[in-house]
Amino acid sequence: MFLQVRQLSKHFPTKRGTLVALEDINFSVAAGEFVCAVGASGSGKSTLLRQIAGLDQPTCGGVWIDGQRVTGPGADRGIVFQHYSLYPWMTVQENVEFGLKLHGIPPRVRREQAQYYLEVVGLTAFAQALPRQLSGGMKQRVAIARALAAEPRILLLDEPFGALDLHTRETMHEFMVQLWQRTRLTVFMITHDVEEAVFLANRILALSAHPGRICREMQVELPDRSLGVMAIKRHPAFHDYRDELVRLLRQQGRADAPTPALVA
């Protein structure tokens, strides 16, 4: 398997004791898969993504990519966050080139790579625009192009569409499907939006909360998603997956303790 998470737990010290954010997380992601972890607040989704990104270290267990243990950030992982974090004084082209510049890529090469990925995300015509001239969805496309320009082996998405309005969010969902079908890049995404997870993912990891555990792993088989959000959302299988996940997460919510899991 390409990405493996084994017996991963994450604890945080607090004044009341130790907060158990994640407990005994185990899963793998094959190259070319699109996997979503879905759960409510307190399920440790962002904490899990940070472990995979190498931005934080687990208390127990670990993360491996192609058999190599993750000990910190690396160029093999590209990350897109909910907030675009674009540099407002830089053009779209310069924002996409920025990471390549930090890695010492020659100007001509980084320019060509940035132009290629701006074409991939459909923003070639806006290469010289400033971020303030773009819509929210376009800004997120720039952030995705910037992550892709470094040619990572896996794209990590941290609720990237949560700040967008419904129409723009659905447009971005269709864009992500087209991008994945075109590149077959390995994608791991976290979200609290059940419908988003069902539409985008080939496989879903449902997380319970307090502490975060994988309570269900679900393979998603739907018609060709390039038919669009509205067509897929009318399909009976979409409703079955969505309803099962909602029911499961509600059950987990009732079963969870009202306060976060603490150990002395």
Please give the average pLDDT of every successive group of 10 residues along the chain, which has 264 residues: 91 86 95 94 91 94 94 92 88 93 90 92 94 93 92 92 86 90 92 94 93 93 87 92 91 61 52
Place of tokens 């060509």: 112
pLDDT of residue 264: 43
Residue spans in the chain of domains classed CATH 3.40.50.300: 3-76+152-263
Residue 187: CB partners within 8 Å, gap ≥ 6?
33, 34, 35, 154, 155, 157, 176, 180
Q: Which fold has domain 3-76+152-263?
A: Rossmann fold (3.40.50)
Distance of CA 146 to the CA centre of its chain: 15
Burial level of 193, CB count in 10 A (0-12/13-18/19+)? middle
The rounded distance, in Å, linking the Cα atoms of 181 and 144 is 15
Say what the pTM is.
Answer: 0.90
For residue 16, the model assigns a pLDDT of 82
109-137 confidence digits (pLDDT tens): 999 999 999 998 999 999 999 999 999 99
Tell me if 19 sits within 8 A of 11, measured CB to CB.
Answer: yes
